[in-house]
Structure 1
Amino acid sequence: MSTNAASRYGSSSIRASRSGFSTSGSQRPSRPGQLDQAIADQLSGGMDPQQISEISHVSAASLLNRVHQTQDPNIVQRVLTLVDREGVDIIAELWSDADPDSLPGILWRLYSLRSWMRRSSDVISELWALGEPVDTAASAIVGVDRPPVAQDIARTADSILSGAFQGDFAVALERAGAFCEVISLGIRAQCTRLQKASSDEVGSPSRSALATQLARSLHSAQALHTTGRDFVHGAHLWRQGSLE
């Protein structure tokens, strides 16, 4: 992976926070989110946080149940591409602050993961090759070729999200968790390579610039690791019937 690619990744908007995995405004789809006007009016008027929480849980459960109960491929496709068509704000308004051990919190992370995987598939494919050693089962769990190319990453992004709505929800979360962990390891491996190369190459970044780049990348790696654990924990809660 090139230094330029590492820099693009290190400055990405993945962050560890209460909302776990999310994207910054600068990388959101440019089209404004289309939110039900009645809900939008209530939100802008300062709706009670408890009401927002209740709506987020109801909307997440309704969306999941609707797709699980339908055989209409058009409905499935519309749900899968919800963020692509309407903008991330349609779910961010209600789901982005939800706890990671809740259904809206997990769905928010799944949609955010898909958007990021499709947007950065070329860089991610390189990181996968670094983070997934031959002797691990991650490729089988996630369901990708070894090593994947950018198109494989984009297909896997759709497969994980569609699997959550059409297949075993817990299995989809475990696939997402394994994916996040491999990419986290890939970032750490890239940081080690970059640090070593910088001491040997002429014209390498200054020490302060390199330190900033490495810090951002390692922060991203930790955020992905945390999100991966959120997915795995969500799978456990789902199987217990307690992810709501």
Structure 2
Amino acid sequence: MSHASAAAMLDRVHHSQDPAVVERVLTLVEREGVDIIAELWSHAQPDTLPAMLWRLYLLRTWMHRHQQSLSRLWRAGEPVATVDSVVAGIDQAPEAQDIAHTADSILSGAFTGDFAVALERAAAFTDVIAGGLHAQAKRLVHGDHAPRDSAHEHTAPGNTQNEPTSDDRTTAARLMHTAGNLLVTAHDFRSGANQWRRGRLE
């Protein structure tokens, strides 16, 4: 059922390209709820078409919900990933609405354009955000962040204001964990793109 529904949806939209149909597919999560999509596709093997669509829908939902923070992370990660920014189709300093627009563009492109290109754009986006998380974690660990306001925040004895606290290290570890998960997702997207081009993504 998961494979058949994914293939049927992709084929129908690709051949009709009716704007109304594209809009209904694009907003499927908002209209039906993520649980419906999860029931259909979330348990599919990672290297399959339903698994790729599941990831694309989750990515779009995530990008819409966290537009502001993702725009900041993009600006932190983009300087070391300029090729990815070109592939993803975002400029160097996106605003929140640019993140939302890109989310819609990637998902709609999966249905109306080259599916492999959509997956590669998704991979590039997650790569840059992972880079932004890594940069943020590095600043915390190395104390390369804005000095704390001593009037409002206690500094532990023997600790200078720019030294990382245990909370900083915990936050940095969480950021790195999230970055690692995003890199795995980016790898899955690229693997899916390669399989699609070889006619093996089903």
Gap change, CA 1:133 and 1:78, over 3 Å in 2: same
SS at match of 1:137: helix
Asked whether the equivalents of residues 100 and 106 of structure 1 are also in contact (C-alpha less than 8 Å), the reply is yes
- Once the 2 structures are TM-superposed, how far is the Cα of residue 97 of structure 1 from its aligned partner? 1.7
| 2:168 paired residue number | 210
Taking structure 1 as reference, are residues 82 and 136 closer, same or farther at Cα in structure 2, changes over 3 Å only?
Answer: same
Q: What's 2:192 paired with?
A: 234
Question: Where do 1:72-87 residues align within 5 Å?
Answer: 72-87=18-33
Give the Cα separation in 1 of the matches to 2:81 and 2:4: 42
Matches within 5 A, 1:1-244: 55-133=1-79, 136-195=82-141, 196-197=143-144, 201=148, 202=150, 203=153, 207-244=165-202
- Which protein is bigger by CA-based radius of gyration? 2
Residues 199 and 71 of structure 1, relative CA distance in 2, 3 Å threshold: closer
- Aligned amino acid, residue 151 of structure 1: Q
**1:198, 1:204 within 8 Å by CA — same for their partners in 2?**
no
Q: Is the 8 A contact 2:76 2:135 kept in 1?
A: yes
Q: Which runs of 5+ in 2 are unaligned?
A: 157-164
Instruction: Give the percent of matched residue pairs that are identical in Structure 1 and Structure 2.
Output: 57
TM-superposed CA distance for 1:60, in Å, is 0.7
- Specify every segment of 5 or more residues in structure 1 that has no aligned partner in the other structure, as ranges: 1-54
Q: Note if contact 1:102-1:243 (Cα within 8 Å) is conserved in structure 2.
A: yes
CA distance in structure 2 between the aligned counterparts of 1:205 and 1:237, rounded to whole angstroms: 53
User: How far did residue 126 of structure 1 move?
Assistant: 0.4
Letter in 1 for 2:194: H
> 2:89 corresponds to which letter in structure 1?
G
TM-score (norm 2): 0.88
Q: How many pairs were matched up?
A: 190
Q: Could you tell me the TM-score, scaled by structure 1's length?
A: 0.74
Contact 2:17 2:112 in 1 (8 A): no
Deviation at 1:217, TM superposition (A): 1.3
> Quick one: structure 1 residues 238 and 80, their matched pair in 2 at CA, closer, same or farther if it must change by over 3 Å?
same
Letter in 2 for 1:65: D
Please give the alpha-carbon distance, in whole angstroms, between the structure 2 residues aligned to 1:142 and 1:179.
5
Amino acid at match of 2:176: L
SS in 2 for 1:69: helix
